[in-house]
């Protein structure tokens, strides 16, 4: 009886995990019509302030069309250069406030759309944002 109870206790969590995985796959299939995205991580020096400040951020770019996403991926160096140049010119004070982050997001969208045209990027998301 005790062995049966142990087996049940061991198998029950595994069943929950398999159900969660299968629900996740269904969710991904439903999201096939979603706009294409690309996430890149950057480690940058930030201008101004006393001492050297570093920013590590991951940015998710939400593209308007799959063809544009492929074009940007083929020219990833251009995208990364634009982001690095824009963010590294910012001061610590200008990017620590919520308003500063929103302004930076708008500037990133505008700059990338200038480079790739066709309103290439519809939105930008900071998925990590760590300053030291």
What pTM did the predictor assign? 0.70
pLDDT computed for residue 12 by the predictor: 46
For residue 39, give the nearest of 111, 126, 122, 115 by alpha carbon.
126
The mean pLDDT of the chain is 79
**Tokens 């991904």 correspond to what residue?**
28
The residue ranking higher by pLDDT, 48 or 100, is 100
For residue 127, give the nearest of 39, 27, 62, 28 by alpha carbon.
39
pLDDT computed for residue 76 by the predictor: 95
């Amino acid at each position: 009886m005790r062995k049966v109870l142990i087996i049940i206790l061991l198998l029950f969590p595994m069943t929950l995990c398999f159900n969660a995985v299968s629900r996740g796959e269904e969710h991904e299939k439903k999201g096939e019509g979603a706009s294409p995205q690309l996430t890149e991580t950057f480690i940058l020096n930030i201008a101004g302030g006393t001492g050297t400040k570093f920013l590590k951020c991951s940015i998710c770019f939400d593209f308007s069309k799959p063809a544009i996403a492929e074009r940007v991926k083929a020219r990833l160096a251009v995208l990364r250069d634009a982001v690095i140049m824009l963010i590294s010119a910012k001061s610590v004070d200008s990017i620590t406030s919520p308003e500063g982050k929103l302004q930076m997001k708008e500037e990133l969208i505008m700059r990338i759309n200038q480079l790739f045209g066709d309103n290439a990027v519809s939105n930008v998301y900071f998925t990590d944002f760590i300053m030291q």
